[in-house]
Structure 1
Amino acid sequence: MILFQDMVLIDQIVLQSKIARRAAQRLQSPGNDRVETWSLIQSILVATANVSKIFWPTTKYKGRGERLRQELGVEKNNILSSRKFRNYFEHYDEQVDDWFQSRHGGVYIDLAMNPSLSGVGNGGHRGYNSFDNTLIFRNESLDLGEVLKALEEILNKCQPYTLV
């Protein structure tokens, strides 16, 4: 059963999904400068995390998250359940501190883009591969295409509950 407060949250899911979709469309446009590219990536991560927080909230609101996931048919282990990559970006200051506490000198590469991705992982933090739409943080990668696909599936499940 969908409650009125659920409808408000579903509208937010729809909005955040559309924000991520628009950023993804602009990300695929040639001619983005470096700041624009990273701004769009950050928009996707934040919008996705906002959806994630609705479906997988803190313990206090756990019941609401379970209710919405069940009502909309969203699997508990959906790719959006993890906010790890968003946290890498949101807590970047901590990542830098940890990196330099464990290393003394050496190479530091950040915001790498094709074709210079080879340095990410060994001496760097963040990278974006526009050829396969993956985001890289150190030695981990996130397929933005899969994230966006999951958002679209959720958006489609929300449509019967929206007025627009």
Structure 2
Amino acid sequence: MTGLQQMILIGEISLQSQIAKKAAERLLATHEVFDNVETWCSIQSILVAAGNVSKILWPSQKYKLRGQKLRKLLGVEDNNPLASRKFRNHFEHYDERIEEWFESNSQGAYIDLSMNPSLKESSFPVYPL
């Protein structure tokens, strides 16, 4: 990897980090005056930006060495939370989850645009990440 490649990729990591930060600020701003669309817009922006950084630092097998070099250069540990894309993929592949749910379940309750951490997972069906 050349110095120019490193500079470009680090620049993209910086940009995506700024995007995630701005989205987090917007998310906090909606706390007092709840706006459902703005809340989910901010969450989605954070997930996409974090996913983009994740793909740069933990790329496909073909570019694995590049990812290792960048992580070492930036001091990013292999166990960094961005290494796992399960949570982001849970949202990104929403359509597939819906299809799979209805293939195996003929009935059930549907709740969208809602997260309630006070509910225990055992009290409702949870689609695995």
Which bracket does the TM-score occupy, shorter chain normalised? 0.7 to 0.9
* Aligned position for 1:50: 52
Name the SS for the 1:57 alignment partner: coil
* Larger CA deviation: 23-32 vs 38-47: 23-32
**Other-structure match for 2:43:** 41
What percentage of aligned pairs have identical amino acids?
56
Secondary structure of 2:119 counterpart: helix
* Cα RMSD for the two superposed structures: 2.3
| Higher helix proportion (structure 1 or 2) | 2
Aligned to 2:3: 3
Say whether 1:107 aligns with 2:109.
Answer: yes
- 1:127-142 equivalences under 5 Å are 138=127
Match of 1:122 in 2: 124
Deviates more, 1:24-33 or 1:9-18: 24-33
What CA distance in whole angstroms lies between the structure 2 residues aligned with 1:65 and 1:98?
Answer: 33
With the length of structure 1 as denominator, give the TM-score of the two structures.
0.69
Distance 1:111 1:139 in 2: 18
Count of residue pairs the alignment pairs up: 126
> 1:32 deviation in Å?
3.8
Shift of 1:91: 0.8
Aligned partners of 1:114, 1:87: CA distance in 2, in Å?
Answer: 20
5+ residue gaps, structure 1, are: 125-137, 141-164
**Amino acid in structure 2 at the alignment position of 1:41:** I
Listed as ranges, the gaps of 5+ residues in structure 2 are: none
- Give TM-score scaled by structure 2 length: 0.86
CA distance in 2, matches of 1:40, 1:10: 23
Q: Distance in 1 between matches of 2:46 and 2:6?
A: 23
Alignment of 1:1-164 (within 5 A): 3-29=3-29, 30-113=32-115, 118=119, 122-123=124-125, 138=127
CA contact (8 A) 1:45 1:86 kept: yes
8 Å Cα contact 1:13/1:51 also seen in 2? yes
* Residue of structure 2 equivalent to 1:133: none
CA contact (8 A) 1:106 1:123 kept: no
Deviation per CA, 1:115-142: give whole Å up to 9, x if none.
8x63877157xxxxxxxxxxxxx577xx
Q: Which has the higher strand share?
A: 1
* Structure 1 ranges of 4+ moved more than 4 A: none
